[in-house]
Structures are given as C-alpha cells and as structure tokens.
Chain A
Amino acid sequence: MHVVVLTKSTPDTAAKVSVEGGTVTWKEAMVLNPWDEYAVTEAVLLKEAHKVKATVMTLGKEEHGEALKQGIAIGCDQGIRIWDDGLEGHDSLLYARSVAAAVQKLGDASLVIFGKEFSDTNTDQHVYQVARKLGWTVLGSVAKILEIDFGAGTIKVERLLEQGKQIVTSKLPVVIAVLKDINEPKYPSFIGIRKASKADIPVWGLADLGVDAGSLKTKVTALAEPPKREGEVEMITGDSAAQIAATLADKLLEDKVL
C-alpha cells in the first residue's frame, strides 16, 4: 500500500518576481510549493496512521529535487524525480501522461495527493488530468479526509465548493487535491533532514516510463509584468471619521463601483 504525493519547488511566496528578457526571474530561494506543505504533511500523517509507504514525486529539473528532499525531511520514505530533455516546455497533458506512468510503475499506489495548485504556473488541471490518465477517480478541493481504509479500499472526504461543503465517499484508488484547511503543516524533523541529505533520488526519464513526448498542445508565447498599480493612491483625510467616511463614500459612488 502506497501513497504518492506530487510536488515541485516554487519561488518563495514573498519573492520579488519579475520578467527580464522574456523569462521570469527572481533572486529569492525556491521553497516547497506552499500548497504542497499540506499535501506532503497529509501523506506523512497517513503513513504514520496507516503504516503505508509514502513517496514524494516531482516532474522537473534538478532544482525540484529540493522539494523532494523537503518531502523526505518531513517524513516521506523516498523521492522520485521525473525528468528528460523531452519534457522541456511540457504542457499539462504530457505532465499527466508522464506522472501517471510513474505512479503505475510504483505498482502498489492507491492514493495520489496534490496540493490545490502549483503556485508558479497557477495551474491545477494536471491534478484532474493525471487522474484521467491513470483511469482513477479524482476528488478536488478536499478540505478533510474524514475516513480512509486502505485495506477495504474506501475513502470519505469533505470537499469545499463555491456554495458549500460536500461529503463524498469513493472507492480507492483516487487522486485528491487538498486545501490549506486539511492539516497543520509539519516541519521537517532533524532525523528526516539527515535522511534527506543522504537520500539518493532516482531520475526517471521518458524511456523508463514508456512515454512518448509527442507534440505539444499549448505553449507559452509571451510573459510580461502586470501594469503597476503603485503611485495612484489618494489619501482621504478629514477632521473626523464621519467626514472621512462621507468623502470616501462620495468618491466610491462617483466611481460607480457600488
């Protein structure tokens, strides 16, 4: 029995990201994709509670190995990195085919966990697409795993939709995407850190996975910085709160946003 958590390294959330010469750059260090702190923690909690194996996996270049090390330091048993020159510039379908093949290669996985989205590309379609390529059920927006029984192959979760909470049961295997509410992220343990720093992380290429890169369906054609908002603030002052409020209310009415 085996839980697989997918992750990647992303720029620190406080990073000053800019676009220079057509590429996105930043100076700050890369960190575990913030949503994946919850995903990795959930995998480790399940591992501890159900005595299953936990594997942390990424698809990406060497820098994403750092996220795997972080995953191991938090408590995953092993890390696997998927990379191949043929994956350069991959779209979500190629991602999905490759990751699905890797999960299948593990043989005994019955739960794949993603964080809600990747905070660099701000995408989550890969979650559902991996599930489809695996032929598994997908449960997105999971706020709680209420029950899981690896032996019986069942899971019960609470999903957060725009209009409320949904309780859903499913048979395993499933792919889930978890929200921030699901747990209190774990720090790496010192023992985990030592394990991570010594870990040998295998790299699986397209040939290992039996995946043919094929041709891309979508491509990023331009990158730019959004127009600056800075510098347009108008400070509202007055002798009393009532006066300030009156001025502000009039401005908002003029702007027709009410």
Chain B
Amino acid sequence: MDFSLTEEHLMAQQMVRDFAHNEIYPTIKEWDRKQQLNPIVLPRMAELGILGINIPVRYGGQGFDYLTLALVCEELERVDTPLRVIMSVHMGLNSMSVLQWGTEEQKQRFLVPQAKGEKYAAFGLTEPNAGSDVAAMSSTARREGDVYILNGEKMWISLATKAHHILVFAKTDPHANPPHSGITAFMITDDMKGVTSGDIHDKLGVRAGSTGWVAMQDVEVPVENRIGEEGEGFYIAMAALDNGRYTVGAGAVGLIRACLEDSIKYAHSRETFGKPIAKHQLVQQKIAFMQQWYDASKLLIMKAGWLKNIGQRNTRETSVAKWYATDMSVQAALEAIQIHGAYGFSDEYDVERYLRNGKGAVIYEGTSEIHQLMQAGYALGFREDRPLRCELPAYDPEFWQN
C-alpha cells in the first residue's frame, strides 16, 4: 500500500489552491450576497485547464488522473462550494459520462470542447416531481426518424443558465417495466429550439453559484446526440453519479478543512477567561473531531479515487465516502460556527457560509438517506453491482498524456 501523492499531484493542488485563494476568495462574500456566479470563474477555470483536468490530452484535457480531480475539488471547495459544484456537473456528471459511454465521434464533438473549456456542461436528471426516485421522471423522448422529440422540465440543475451542453434523461418508453428501463440519455445544447432555462434564487446556500431549471418543449434532438443505447439511460445516470458523488465528497473534504483551519485560527486569537479559547478543553474537542472527520473523509475519497485509477467499480466506496464526508462537513460547519460564537453567526466570518453551502451536499447526488439505503443494501446482500456495457476507463498515463 502506498499513500504518497506524486510531485505532480502536489503541484496541481497548489496551483488550484493559489487560483481559488487569490482570484476568487477576495470577493466571495460579495457574490454570495448578490446571489450570482462571479463571471470570471468559468472563463478562468477554462483558461487554467481546470475544466479538463482529468480528461486525456487527446480529448482536449490535461491528462491528469482521477486522484487529481479529488485534490482539485478539495481546493476549490476550501474557498467556495459553487466552484466545486462546477466540477461536479461539468466534469463528474457530464464530461466523464461522455468519456465512459460516448462514441469516438461524440467525444470529438462534445468532450473535446468541454475539456478545453470552450463549452460548459451540465447534467439534467432531477425533475420537479422526481428527485431521489429517478424512475418517476416524466420527461419524454419520442423518436421521429433521425431525431427524438424531447418534452419535459428539469429542476435544480446546476449551471442551467450557463451550460452549452446538458446531459438530460427522458423516457423513450414511458410504460417500460421496470420503469427505469425506459430511460434514455441525450446531450442537448442550449441553442436547440425549444430549450429554455432560468435561475432559481433565494437558496439557502451555493448562492455564488448557478442553479436553475431547464424546460424542453418539442426539442428536436438528432439521433447522434443520444448517449448510449435506448433504455440505457438509468445506468448512465447511475454511473455518472459514481463520478459526481466522488467530486462532491472530495469537495466536502475541503469544506471540513475550511472549518478546521478557520476554527484553529480563531481559537488561537480569541480570548475568554484570560486565555485563548484554544486552551479550553471543550473547544479542543471540537477541533479534534474536525481533524478526525477530515482525515477519515479524505481517506475514503482517496480510496475511491484509487479504485477509479485502477479501473475497478467503486459505486459502494464512492457512496460511503460521499455520505460520510458531506454529513461530517455539515457537522464541522456547525462546530466551526460554535467556536466562532456570535461572530460565526454573522457573515463577517466565513463559517456561516460553510454551513449554508454544506447543507446542499447532503441533499444532491443522493441524499444521505439514499446512501444509507445503499450501504445497508450492499451489506445485507440486497444489492450488487453488475458489470456495465461501458466501464469508466482506468487511468492509463500513456493513453491520457499522449
């Protein structure tokens, strides 16, 4: 067993840390209050190559491995959750799905511009009446010759109003039994006739991000934009979540670190009863727990990343990592606010934002309850992963870097 990170990992991590800290952090409160995504974020992430970090160079990416993706997400969410959300949808849920399931022609057409950051990508699975229960979706796709006609509404879609490419799911067979076997995946583009979108405001957190809705009214989608086979959509969505959840969990590791670092700094400087609060044992206990949560979450995430690197199925490991890391990030944020006292309760410090942002991650990409059901299912033998037609390719430096 080898826990060491390579020089390449460490330098990439440092570079993203510097970017987020120098360019995004100074104005983050302003954008959070305005409830807007800072307009420099996507172009800078594109320019720096972050939007293509773990995509092979031959497909326009930077050719780094899956572990680097986790390190990048940790650094981004250390500064602000919406930065990591971008990686979750653009990379984890969309680009990696094209890498896994797309034809060579689709990789050229979608993945290359996405990895280069020329096109931004999103993922539309959730609907107003179908969240955890994916198969309950009501969007439809009707085949008519060389096109599918898509109708329906997707809700809570990150980057809904910013993305050029959206991977959406709709039922080609609304009466299939079981229902999930009637779902098919499509790449729609924002310029298609009948595609409209809007932002959702007044969310609790992820306020400096973009979350919205996408409506499809008689949208003509060419057959070449179907990802995978008809009826394969559910599996594609679940495989996408294996990657999206990985980024969410990795981000949560960053959020725990933010809570820990800010709390340590504050505990050293704030004095009560004649000494820094860091000297009070009950404050120390909170710090100790945060450290434990950070270490355990990070190990779970890195394990999942290692499995991805060697090309092994990791649905269970990713699920447990995402569940644990996000739950603990909310816990850490609560404790961080507690350590900051009344100051933590105001937006003068960052910790209240951590809580508001962290709370989203125990809801999206599988609520904590859904992950509990999954873990119990595996443990009790009710659930088993079967091989997929297309597995996420293992990280092969030769293929990735050349």
Contacts and interface: CB of A to CB of B under 8 A. Distances in A.
Direct contact, A vs B (beta carbon within 8 Å): yes
A193 B63 CA distance: 11
A162 B360 CA distance: 54
A70 B7 CA distance: 11
B15 interface: yes
Contact of B15 (A69, A193, A197): A193
B177 interface: no
Given A197-B6, A197-B7, A190 B12 contact: yes
A190 B19 contact: no
B112 interface: no
B379 interface: no
Contact of A197 (B8, B49, B62): B8
A194 B8 contact: yes
Q: Please classify how large the interface on chain A is, using the bins under 10, 10 to 19, 20 to 34, 35 or more.
A: 10 to 19
A69 to B, nearest CB: 7
A73 B11 contact: yes
A196 B62 contact: no
Given A69-B11, A196-B11, A190 B62 contact: yes
A168 B312 CA distance: 63
Interface in B39-87: 48-49, 53, 57, 62-64
A247 to B, nearest CB: 25
Contacts of B62: 190-191
Contacts of B48: 187, 189-190
B18 interface: yes
Contact of A187 (B8, B18, B64): B18
B11 A188 contact: yes
Contacts of B57: 191
Nearest to B13: A193
B18 A193 contact: no
B401 interface: yes
Contacts of A73: 11, 15
Interface in A189-246: 189-191, 193-194, 196-197
Interface in B1-55: 6-8, 11-12, 15, 18-19, 48-49, 53
Nearest to B64: A190
Interface residues of B, number: 16
Contacts of B18: 187
Contacts of A190: 12, 15, 48-49, 53, 62-64
Contacts of A196: 7, 11
A210 to B, nearest CB: 33
A191 B116 CA distance: 13
A169 B15 CA distance: 36
A69 B19 CA distance: 18
A193 B7 CA distance: 9
A187 B18 CA distance: 8
A251 B216 CA distance: 72
B170 to A, nearest CB: 35
Contacts of A188: 11, 15
A193 B8 contact: yes
Interface string B293-320: 0000000000000000000000000000
Nearest to B14: A188
Residue among B7, B11, B62, B63 with the most chain A CB within 10 A?
A: B11
Given A69-B11, A187-B19, A188-B15, A194 B6 contact: no
Contacts of B19: 187
A151 B8 CA distance: 37
Contacts of A193: 8, 11-12, 15
A69 B6 CA distance: 13
Interface of B: 6-8, 11-12, 15, 18-19, 48-49, 53, 57, 62-64, 401
Given A187-B48, A190-B53, 6 more contacts: A187-B15, A190-B15, A193-B8, A194-B63, A197-B6, A197-B11
29 contacts: A69-B7, A69-B11, A70-B11, A73-B15, A187-B15, A187-B18, A187-B48, A188-B11, A189-B48, A189-B49, A190-B15, A190-B48, A190-B49, A190-B53, A190-B62, A190-B63, A190-B64, A191-B49, A191-B57, A191-B62, A193-B12, A194-B8, A194-B63, A194-B64, A196-B7, A196-B11, A197-B7, A197-B8, A197-B11
Top-4 shortest CB links A-B: A190-B62, A197-B8, A197-B7, A193-B11
